[in-house]
Amino acid sequence: MNNKVIIDSSQIVYSGFFNVREDTIKIDGNSGKVTSLILLREAAIILPQDINGNFILNYEYRHGIQSYTYNCPGGLIEPNEELISAAKRELLEETGYTADMIYLASVYPMPSICNQAVHYFFAPNAKKIQQPKLDPLELLEIKLFSKDQLLSLLSSSNTIDATLPISYTFYKQYQDSHA
């Protein structure tokens, strides 16, 4: 494998939510390559299913595209927070549901420019126990979808966040391996 050394590193942006760092690196003796990195905390993404078999999704405003998307509940993991605890907390905060968590997989969605790991969970038999406790700038509605409706959504022209098809793919692999 290549021998990589960071020659210089400087913080470009610090926002509290994410950081941008610029590194000058040397790979196998070739120096001078400058690369920018987005530094984010790890995230937990949950595909919840209620006791009636309906999938619980968010229909949420995403300012980056200035539109609403269908997505899975989830969010950033707090420092020193356990993955399962983060997944349960995010599910409860965004939807008001509680459920057991089944770990599905972890991925790095953009490793060339970002250090964030995203951890995917399936939450079967979710039960609503309270109203969502959203952050002031979270604009979302909870939507229930049968399996057929979800599959139709995934193949439609509706705007969906990448977390949704990724979650469903991991869920399907889990279901197939436990059939």
HSE-CB of 103 using CA atoms within 13 angstroms: 10
For residues 23 and 35, give the distance between their C-alpha atoms in angstroms, rounded to a whole number.
Answer: 5
Neighbours of 10 (CB within 10 A): 9
- This prediction has a pTM of 0.91
Tens digits of pLDDT across the chain (179 residues): 567 787 788 888 877 778 898 988 888 777 677 788 898 899 999 999 999 999 999 999 999 999 999 999 999 999 999 999 999 999 999 999 999 999 999 999 999 899 999 999 999 999 999 999 998 888 999 999 999 999 999 999 889 999 999 999 999 999 999 98
- According to DSSP, the β-strands at 118-128 and 140-145 are unpaired
For the chain, domains (ranges, CATH) are 4-39 (no CATH), 43-177 (3.90.79.10)
What does the block give as tokens for 130? 């309270």
Q: How far is CA 152 from CA 60, 124, 131, 174, in A?
A: 19, 21, 28, 20
